[in-house]
Amino acid sequence: MVKKSYCEMISRSQPGPGDGGNTGSWRVKRPVMDQKKCIPAKTGKPSCFTCWLYCPDCVVSKTIPPAINLDYCKGCGICAEECPAGAIEMVDEASFIGKEK
């Protein structure tokens, strides 16, 4: 048996967006990002990205500003919990009913 390094095991355990299925369909809370508080959005610099790092479904982009793919976000709230700037609020999904096309 080939012995694998710790780093190799970590890199192979990375999920991809959608690996958990269309988890956005059963989400009850939606992460809403306030770009006035988000560090890369307000500074224009590629910094922080804690939400990208911690999202277990890899559905946050490492872009300025970061974007959340709501098709696959399961609403776990980890991003909101970990954001150092308090820029993500978990909002009841029911409050969006009838407000989107």
Q: Is residue 64 a contact point for ligand SF4 (CB under 6 A)?
A: no
C-alpha–C-alpha distance, residues 71 and 21, integer Å: 9
Q: Which of 9, 51, 71, 94 binds ligand SF4 (CB under 6 A)?
A: 51
Distance CA 9, CA 101 (A): 42
- Three-state DSSP class for 8? helix
18 touches ligand SF4 by CB under 6 A: no
Name which of 24, 10, 14, 17 is nearest 100 in CA terms: 24
Query: Which of 2, 5, 48, 61 is in the footprint of ligand SF4 by CB under 6 A?
Result: 48
Q: Is 49 in the site for ligand SF4 (CB under 6 A)?
A: yes
Q: Is 20 in the site for ligand SF4 (CB under 6 A)?
A: no
